[in-house]
Amino acid sequence: MVKRAVLAVSFVFLSAWAGMAATLTVPPGTVLHCRLSQTISTATNTQGQLFAATLAEPLIVNDTQIVPAGATIRGRIGSLARPGHIKGVGKMLLVPETLAFPNGQTFSVNAVLLQMYGAPGARIANPEGVVRGPDARMRDLKEVGIGIGGGGLLGTVFGGFHGAFVGGVIGGAAGLVDSLRRRGPDLTLPRGTELKFQLSRQLVVTRPNVSEYNLSSR
């Protein structure tokens, strides 16, 4: 009877220990290095659509690989806005929701986009991780300059200095009007864009066999 009781207690203890050992925690502030799995643009996507990014580097904490490279972060486009005609730029917010392992395990994840590379003209606009696209200022200035130059050249040919001045003004105005009737450049994140998500809450991962992920034993 006593032997059975001891075995039962031992079994419970070992089961509890194994369960604790199989649960790993990643602290808030940890950065996940990912690459975007598809192209996302304010021209073609809408708020609420899904996105995916692949973990480019394994996540290692205290010599233990907790998340393998190749794991997938899935989420939604939390907000999206196209650039305006006269002012404003394209904006979007990527909201991670789950982390899926190659073996099919899925865990909830809360993270904010901290840094991004590989999207021309795009930058992180605020601590919430909103991505801000390029503005149309340089395009407008370039088109106005082209209009002034073209108008001035024609004015010189047909009317000398005075004609050049008038032609430049008219050409510049035409370039400005043409530029303002179009939207600014859309924000586009190409496939393969490097994304660094920072955990805003701890990530709890349960592994069926933790020992095989312990790097110190290799």
pLDDT digits (tens, 9 = 90+) for 41-96: 999 999 999 999 999 999 998 888 999 999 999 999 999 999 975 668 999 999 99
Using a pLDDT cut of 90, give the percent of the chain over it.
56
Q: How much is the pLDDT for 133?
A: 95
Average pLDDT value for residue range 176-180: 46
- Position 106 pLDDT exceeds 80: yes
187 — phi, psi (to 5°)? -85, 125
Kindly report the pTM of this predicted structure: 0.69
The pLDDT mean for the chain works out to 77
- Position 149 pLDDT exceeds 90: no
Q: How much is the pLDDT for 135?
A: 82
Q: How much is the pLDDT for 11?
A: 39
